[in-house]
Structure 1
Amino acid sequence: MLFANDTEASLRSAVALVNSAAEPDTLTEIGQLDAWYDEHAFTGRHDSDAAELEAVRALRPVLRALLTAERDDAAAQVNVLLADARALPQLRRHDGLDWHIHAVPADAPLDRRVAVEVAMAMIDVIRADELSRLSVCADQGCEGLVLDLSRNRSRRFCSTTCANRNAVAAYRARARQQP
């Protein structure tokens, strides 16, 4: 394990949220927000309304900028997110989860909780100097983010679709070069 479970979970949810902005946008309906919330095991306040959907959608470019920033810029962005949210980190244990960090109340708006959880996760990434674990998909036609938690740092594509597309293209290129 490279990072604590809550750090990895926050990073995964952030990458999924940022990647939902790609065409076709997969976060346009409240039901899609509900599915993302459930998939990433969020707890606490969830209004499940149009205002919350728009607030979470508006967070995507902020998180993209944070997750693709250089180390010093990422640290500055983390500090802004935490200050804006008036974050107060505390250890919590709930819903069968062992001790982990929450920095805003469970009744805070979802977009605020997401921003702070990602900022807290990025503290671990920055302190460990592991920003290379976050990158943009190696597929030339894709802007998706990649979270590489593999031991050998071998993940290059945001999805199996991009990986397969590149594998097929490489195979076809090799086949054309053979006599």
Structure 2
Amino acid sequence: MVFAHDTEMALQAAATLANSALDPDTLETVADLDEMYARFEYTGRHERTRAELDEVRALRPRLYALLTADRDRAVELVNEMLAEARALPRLVRHDRWDWHLHAVADDAPLATRFLVETAMAMIDVIRADEMSRLDICADDDCEGVVLDLSRNRSRRFCSNSCGNRNAVAAYRARQAASG
């Protein structure tokens, strides 16, 4: 299943935001939030304040719960998020993006836009019955969210660090067993 570009970007942003709470925390400064805003091509209101950062950081447990939920629970969470924000989907076109969905005003708080764009992206995941694209990291010492957008559904780790650590451990185990 190939998702629309805006859906993939929202899912990647949500997984990154949820995983930013892991040790080490990767969303500690306004500059970190600025980088995330740019990396995931957000538009609209961005205050670049500590208060805005704190609001976005407060979303992390909710996004983690959504991204790790089973399909039925994910539906409940999506509906709660959309109702809370009084989302009203509409088609928009701006910058280099062709027609895509926005569900809250561009001047809504960034935390609201993160939450609603994640919920809107999850609608596509749920309707396509693609919840298997979301999982928990296969590293025994990690609880990170894995978003697998690969064609062959082969992604097992939330980050290169976890994947590399497990590859090195497997290599060392093979070396020890053979020699």
TM-score bracket for the superposition, by shorter chain length: over 0.9
Aligned counterpart, 2:167: 167
Q: Which runs of 5+ in 2 are unaligned?
A: none
Cα distance in 2 for partners of 1:96, 1:168 equals 41
1:8 aligns with 2:14: no
TM-score w.r.t. the length of structure 1 is: 0.98
Aligned counterpart, 2:70: 70
Cα distance in 2 for partners of 1:160, 1:96 equals 29
Matches within 5 A, 1:67-106: 67-106=67-106
1:119 aligns with 2:108: no
Matched to 1:41, the amino acid is: E
Aligned counterpart, 1:132: 132
Aligned counterpart, 1:55: 55
Cα deviation for residue 28 of structure 1 reads 1.2
Aligned counterpart, 1:143: 143
Q: Which runs of 5+ in 1 are unaligned?
A: none
Listed one character per residue, the Cα deviations across residues 66-108 of structure 1 (whole Å, up to 9, x for unaligned) are: 0000000000000000000000000000012100000000000
Cα deviation for residue 2 of structure 1 reads 1.0
Cα deviation for residue 116 of structure 1 reads 0.3
Cα distance in 2 for partners of 1:89, 1:98 equals 16
Cα distance in 2 for partners of 1:76, 1:163 equals 32
Matched to 1:161, the amino acid is: S
Cα distance in 1 for partners of 2:178, 2:162 equals 25
Helix, strand or coil at the partner of 2:98: coil
Cα distance in 1 for partners of 2:26, 2:153 equals 28
Cα distance in 1 for partners of 2:96, 2:25 equals 33
Cα distance in 1 for partners of 2:26, 2:8 equals 22
Cα distance in 1 for partners of 2:157, 2:116 equals 26
Task: Give me the CA root mean square deviation.
Answer: 0.8
Cα distance in 2 for partners of 1:96, 1:162 equals 34
Counting matched residue pairs gives 179
Cα distance in 2 for partners of 1:5, 1:96 equals 12
